[in-house]
Amino acid sequence: MGTAARILLRGTNVLRITLVERESADGTALRLEGRLAGAWVDELRQACERHRSRTLDLKGLQSVDGAGLILLRQLVLDGVALQHLSGYLTELMADPP
């Protein structure tokens, strides 16, 4: 399962990013848990670049701020697949920026 995890704490904003290795051709995935907001948006961007992840598992994502939403939209344009989006996040992603 998860081979590495990074938990970021600041006030009540917590984001856990777990690297999930997969045996399939799509390589690694990152699993997100908590809140994608503030400084953690850049941390996710760096993690995606560092691990060259092509999939984000968002099942544990509780909330996202405007900058986080912009990053998720950009990652999709860059070919990253988003899995397990909540209905609310699906609606946010569908709205024009």
- Least confident stretch, 22-36, 48-62, 81-95: 22-36
**Count of helix runs (H) and strand runs (E) in the chain:** 3, 5
What pLDDT, on the 0 to 100 scale, is given for residue 22?
66
What pLDDT, on the 0 to 100 scale, is given for residue 96?
76
14 has a pLDDT exceeding 60: yes
Task: Report pLDDT digits (tens) over 30-56.
Answer: 999 999 999 999 999 999 999 888 999
Q: Where are the domains of the chain?
A: 54-86
> Residue type at 55?
T
Task: Find out whether 51 and 29 touch, Cβ atoms under 8 Å.
Answer: no
